[in-house]
Amino acid sequence: MDNDEKHGLAPIIGTAPEILILGSLPSDESIRRQEYYGHPRNRFWPVMAAVLGEEPPTGYEAKKAMLKDHKIAVWDVFASARRHGSLDSAIHDEVPNDIASLLRANPSIRTICLNGGKAATAFRRFCRSNPGAIDLSMYKVHEFASTSQLSISVGWTLPRLIEQWRSLFL
């Protein structure tokens, strides 16, 4: 494997999840740590804690437990891809995860959240190119701004992200 070939992580999935959050592909730091949203400046965990009314957990096991307690699963659209660095814009030669199988194995999932533009575009492209694989009429699909620190440059402050994600639970 060369330095540009990246492989994603196994899903975080508890008992009877109701919400599936899909990112694109973990950052290099997340892959190194083997933790979703493992870069210290990614705002995913503070956003989730805020919208779930929880204290921000410390430690990855506590973070995963918080999501599972709230019936939230996490995975990525891509199982692997080539990417120099961590930017979504550098992703190419991607191989999708088998999201359809995960959804069939977890019929309690009724909401799909797409974390960032690349995840949203790739998920929609997958659904169009694989008609019948995922019946989108069975799900509420929400597209959210990326929790990456890079979204700050286009106005996505932490309070604004929290407000957007909180709409999921209203």
- To the query of whether residue 106 is one of the catalytic residues in this protein, the response is no
Average pLDDT taken over every residue of the chain: 92
Give the phi and the psi of residue 109 in degrees, each rounded to 5.
-70, 125
Gap between the terminal Cα atoms of the chain: 44
Tens digit of pLDDT for each residue in 19-71?
A: 999 999 999 999 999 999 999 999 999 999 999 999 999 999 999 999 999 99
Does 1 have pLDDT greater than 50?
no
Q: Stretch 98-118: mean pLDDT, rounded? A: 96
Round the CA-based radius of gyration of the chain to a whole number and report it.
Answer: 15
Which residues form the domain of 32? 5-169
Of residues 42, 97, 115, 130, which has the active-site annotation? 42
Could you tell me the pTM of the whole model? Answer: 0.93
More confidently predicted of 139 and 128: 139
111 near 18, Cβ under 8 Å? yes
Q: How many CB atoms lie within 10 A of CB 170?
A: 5
* CA distance linking residue 90 with residue 19, whole number of Å: 28
Per-residue pLDDT at 53? 96
Q: Domain with 125 in it: what CATH number? A: 3.40.470.10
More confidently predicted of 116 and 3: 116
17 near 74, Cβ under 8 Å? no
Count the domains in the chain.
1
Does 12 have pLDDT greater than 90?
yes
Using CA atoms, how far residue 72 sits from 11, 67, 100, in Å, is 11, 5, 17
